[in-house]
Amino acid sequence: MNTLNFEKISRFDRDAEPVSVSIPFAAGTLEAPERLIIRDDDALVPSQNRVLAAWPDGSIKWLLLHLQPDLPGNRDKILSFDIVEDVPTPDLPAQVSIEETPFGLGVDTGPLSFLVPNEGFLPLRDVVLEGVSLWNSSPFSGFELGFDGQRVTTATGPVTLAVEEAGPLRAVILVEGQHRKADGSGYLDFRGRITAYAGKPYVQVEHQFIHKEDAPELALDSLALAFAPVTAESDAPAPPHLALGQGYYRTTILESDAEPLEMGIDTETILYQANEHFIDSFYGDFWVDWRDAQGGVTLSVFQAHQNFPKALRVTQEGIVCGLYPEGEEPAPLLQGMAKTHRLQLLFHGPDAPLEESSVRSLQFQLPDRPSVSRAWFRDNNPWLEVFFPEQVPDRLISFLNRLHDGRPKALGMFHFGDAPDAGYTNQGRGQGHSVFVNNEYDRPHACALYYALTGQRRVLDSGLVSARHWLDVDFCHYSPDPLIDGGLKIHTRYHVTGGVTPSHEWTEGFLDYYFLTGRTEALAAARSVAENILRHLARPHMQTPGATSVREGGWALRALVGMWIGTGEERWREEARRLVGMYLDWFDEYGALLAPYTSHTMPRVTFMISLTVNSFARYLLIEPQGELAERVKQLIVGTVDDMLAHCMGPDGIAYYKELPSLRRTSPTYHLLEALTHTFRITGDERYLEIATRQFAAMDQDTGVRRRPKYADDSGAVIDGEGGGRIFADKYTSILLYAGAATPLSLLDWYEYPY
């Protein structure tokens, strides 16, 4: 159970391969990070351990580990972890260190050293490989961004450097500043990130541009990073050797000693490549190599196909990496939007085989990630809710896989990690344009939970990609409107043209991204969204029972409960308690959770009331006992009984809304969960029997249809058509219901026959 499981991926041996994994622990299990050790059979594997969250008693809840195990080609690998009293001293064959200098932060991995300067984000300079200085001091010239015919760059101006991780196995430096115009004035914020590994000659670099300016919209014309080394003088210098690598099955390598090489990924490329990979995990490779007699560098673009358009050009003078190539149709950059690009820079000697550069680039695209067992998550559940049942039908896992994998795929720099929704689009909500769901109903959280249950790698990757999209595009980095600033945008055309409302803001997926990766910007975003929700809740209509839709406060309650479970900060529980009190008053005043719809009606809306009931049940996770908890339990039972009395058709199946004009048959997955919570409170199996009837009535066709890929007017290439939220809006409700119903044999009819 206490194992780290590496699935077979690469056919090559990977010696001392840098990997990371985050492990949860039950309260009171682990008191100090150094007490957790990793073993490969009997050999100690050194690790760098970082605490991400703690329980109220101070013990560790989430621990992030970096390690460098030896991984075999074409085989699985299992490591074990243990908690010990006497901590052994690990033998570190290589270490990475950071030194503060007057000019910035010096990083030394052993074979590689460089400077991260405090003037400009180049991203690095003064590169030394195996004791040999490579080229001139500043071969990289910063990220240059073009918009509205203007140019700004990260090459100049003061920056703020912060050390997020200092080694010994991994070092992370964060860089913040502004792009600079030609006159030196700042315009468009940026965040940078540089990650270096002990004993390795490569680093990973990130650049995020952020639109926090007053202009509502800018036209992004270009974004590029240039590498232009000054080579050593020689009587007869050999010309630099040039190479490009690209592929989505086998990597094709092009080479030249004289003529420039270039390649691009554009709309036509994506439309007509017959790629069969699950794109959140892998699509292909995209790299460029330049080398002379001193040494060389291989620059790889992470998930370049998914984030097209992209272009690489290499000449004898150097490299131009087009992260948004010149000549492409300008992309709208709306206020509050951002975008992160990730690169790998592999420094090598003049004779290093190109095949090794290609393999390392592929390892960058699809890195090894160990998984922790389902049993470990069940016994050390950081989410508190029963998300790891002992038994559910195998057929249900197949259905959940189809839901997870089946949503339409969107590719493009501002679109990857999200999906359009045909229902919203066909309703006209996008005014003729595709409506993106902005990972509605918290896909990152649903993916994190499903990954913990099943250990399926593509599920983890999808959660990470979805959260990354949130952090860049859908999260509002700036708005002059406090009800929009720092919030999460509702489903809309081009992701951010809509507003912000608590019924479409989520915190748990941001928190999961932080707990699974250690990325502090995700924790900051979760807090920001929660603060935005509080600003909405302070409005008079949000504090008046029956003045707005039931789900507005219901989703707000879920977000606040998630914040308390994730951070332990008492203020979130206090706000959740106040919100629960408002709902108790609401039920007392109307005898039900009625809410306004048409000018003359207050109908019951089954799915909205159900999901709010489910949030009441989440509240019991943080206050399970006491007078208020008992009142909440009564509220859950009373509300569900009211729905059963007023929201069921003659066939015993729930309908959509209570109005005669809306009483179409519409069994909702949220009702399954609400009935399950009522069963837990009362012990009455009748509620699960009613839930099983609803489940049997549900159409288990995912609703997603294959169709030829097409490019829409937002710049995205869309693969598939149907619901963009088909997994996230169902997962937890299905799982909690099935976990309760299966032991009672209520789902025997649903299992595979053999």
Q: How would DSSP label each residue in 390-451?
A: S---HHHHHHHHHHHHHSPEEESTTTTT--B-HHHHHTTTTTTSPEE-TTTTTHHHHHHHHH
Tell which residue, 733, 646, 740, 736, has the closest CA to residue 698: 733
172 within domain boundaries: yes
pLDDT above 90 (res 704): no
Q: pLDDT (tens digit, 9 = 90+) per residue, 361-401? A: 999 999 999 999 999 999 999 999 999 999 999 999 999 99
In this structure, are residues 96 and 108 in contact, taking their beta carbons and an 8 Å threshold?
yes
- Rounded Cα distance, 204 and 642, in Å: 56
56, 102: one domain: no
328, 219: one domain: yes
Tokens of 718: 């869309």
Q: pLDDT (tens digit, 9 = 90+) per residue, 112-147? A: 999 999 999 999 999 999 999 999 899 999 999 999
How much is the average pLDDT of 407-420? 97
CATH number at residue 250: 2.70.98.30
The burial class, CB within 10 Å (0-12 / 13-18 / 19+), for 423 is: middle
- Rounded Cα distance, 466 and 754, in Å: 36
Percent of the chain exceeding pLDDT 90 equals 93
pLDDT at 377: 97
176 within domain boundaries: yes
pLDDT at 472: 98
How much is the average pLDDT of 629-634? 98
In this structure, are residues 374 and 679 in contact, taking their beta carbons and an 8 Å threshold?
no
| Chain centroid, CA 538 distance in Å | 29
Q: pLDDT (tens digit, 9 = 90+) per residue, 171-207? A: 999 999 999 999 999 999 999 999 999 999 999 999 9
pLDDT at 15: 97
- Rounded Cα distance, 718 and 412, in Å: 9
241, 164: one domain: yes
28, 141: one domain: no
pLDDT at 211: 98
How much is the average pLDDT of 686-692? 98
pLDDT at 49: 97
Tokens of 126: 């003064």
- Report phi then psi at 418, rounded to 5: -130, 180
Tokens of 216: 């509502």
pLDDT at 232: 61
Sheet holding 60-67, edge to edge: 19-24, 60-67, 47-54
32, 179: one domain: no
Domain boundary among 41, 59, 83: 83
The CB-side HSE value for 421 (13 A sphere, CA atoms) comes to: 25
Tell which residue, 524, 449, 520, 533, has the closest CA to residue 488: 533
- What's the CA angle centered on 405, arms 530 and 491, to 5 degrees? 40
73, 16: one domain: yes
pLDDT above 60 (res 236): no
pLDDT above 90 (res 706): no
144 within domain boundaries: yes
- Rounded Cα distance, 689 and 675, in Å: 9
pLDDT at 235: 53
Write the CB contacts of 466 (distance below 8 Å, at least 6 apart in sequence): 280, 417, 418, 439, 443, 444, 447, 509
597 within domain boundaries: no
Write the CB contacts of 717 (distance below 8 Å, at least 6 apart in sequence): 267, 270, 271, 308, 410, 411, 412, 709, 710, 711
Tokens of 107: 């990083």
59, 184: one domain: no
- Rounded Cα distance, 145 and 357, in Å: 28
* Least-confidence region, from 58-67, 152-161, 227-236, 266-275: 227-236
Write the CB contacts of 563 (distance below 8 Å, at least 6 apart in sequence): 507, 511, 526, 527, 530, 569, 572
Q: pLDDT (tens digit, 9 = 90+) per residue, 580-628? A: 999 999 999 999 999 999 999 999 999 999 999 999 999 999 999 999 9
pLDDT at 703: 76
Structural domains of the chain, count: 2
Tokens 């990371």, located at residue: 20
Which residue range forms the structural domain that includes residue 135?
A: 97-365
Q: pLDDT (tens digit, 9 = 90+) per residue, 386-395? A: 999 999 999 9
CATH number at residue 25: 2.60.40
Compute CA distances 606 → 316, 423, 581, 587, 601, whole Å: 66, 19, 21, 15, 15
Domain boundary among 337, 365, 393: 365
Q: Largest alpha-carbon pair distance within the chain?
A: 93
pLDDT above 60 (res 234): no
535 within domain boundaries: no
Compute CA distances 340 → 206, 332, 547, whole Å: 7, 16, 40
Q: 79-90 as b/e, with b when 16 or more CB fall inside 10 Å?
A: bebeeeeeeeeb
- What is the radius of gyration, based on Cα positions, of the chain? 27
- Rounded Cα distance, 6 and 367, in Å: 11
- Cβ atoms within 10 Å of 433's Cβ, excluding its own: 17
125, 216: one domain: yes
113, 194: one domain: yes
213, 119: one domain: yes
The burial class, CB within 10 Å (0-12 / 13-18 / 19+), for 323 is: buried
Average pLDDT, the chain: 96
78, 204: one domain: no
381 within domain boundaries: no
Compute CA distances 617 → 232, 385, 554, 675, 695, whole Å: 69, 9, 11, 11, 20
pLDDT at 91: 86
- Report phi then psi at 734, rounded to 5: -60, -45
pLDDT at 497: 97
In this structure, are residues 310 and 264 in contact, taking their beta carbons and an 8 Å threshold?
yes
pLDDT above 70 (res 233): no
pLDDT above 60 (res 417): yes
pLDDT above 80 (res 540): yes
470 within domain boundaries: no
Question: Which SS3 state, helix, strand or coil, does residue 678 take?
Answer: helix
Domain boundary among 83, 118, 150: 83
110, 14: one domain: no
Compute CA distances 466 → 134, 512, 660, 743, 748, whole Å: 38, 11, 38, 34, 34
pLDDT at 103: 97
743 within domain boundaries: no
pLDDT above 60 (res 469): yes
The burial class, CB within 10 Å (0-12 / 13-18 / 19+), for 661 is: exposed
User: What pTM does this model have?
Assistant: 0.97
